[in-house]
């Protein structure tokens, strides 16, 4: 029996998730845009890594992977 493959999250949903989970703690100096581009998503990854915890760093990696997949 095989498990169904889950579709990886797109960069826009990961971007929104980053602001929901880490807006106050790590992304306090950034403002979320309503319709993010891959460049917008990549712009917050550095801050997630520096200001966030391990969970934020993993989310930054997921955002970077999703942005690469979108190209």
Which residues in the chain come in under a pLDDT of 50? 1, 3-6
Q: What would the pLDDT profile of 25-40 be if each residue is shown by its tens digit?
A: 999 999 999 999 999 9
| Helical packing angle, 38-51 and 54-70, nearest 10° | 160
Q: Does residue 2 form part of some domain? A: no
pLDDT at residue 7 in the model: 54
Model confidence, pTM: 0.84
Q: Does residue 29 form part of some domain? A: yes
Q: Does residue 38 form part of some domain? A: yes
Provide the 3-class DSSP secondary structure of residue 5: coil
Region at 44 (left for phi over 0; alpha for psi -120 to 50; beta for the rest): alpha
Measured CA to CA in angstroms, residue 38 lies from 10, 22, 35, 54 at distances of 10, 19, 10, 22
pLDDT at residue 71 in the model: 79
Note down the domain range covering 34.
11-70
pLDDT at residue 66 in the model: 95
pLDDT at residue 9 in the model: 74
């Amino acid at each position: 029996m095989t498990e169904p493959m889950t579709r990886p999250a797109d960069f826009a949903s990961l971007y929104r998730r980053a602001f929901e989970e880490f807006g106050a703690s790590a992304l306090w100096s950034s403002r979320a845009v309503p319709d993010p581009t891959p460049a917008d998503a990549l712009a917050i990854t550095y801050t997630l890594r520096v200001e966030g915890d391990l969970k934020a760093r993993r989310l930054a990696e997921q955002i970077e992977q999703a942005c690469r997949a979108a190209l």
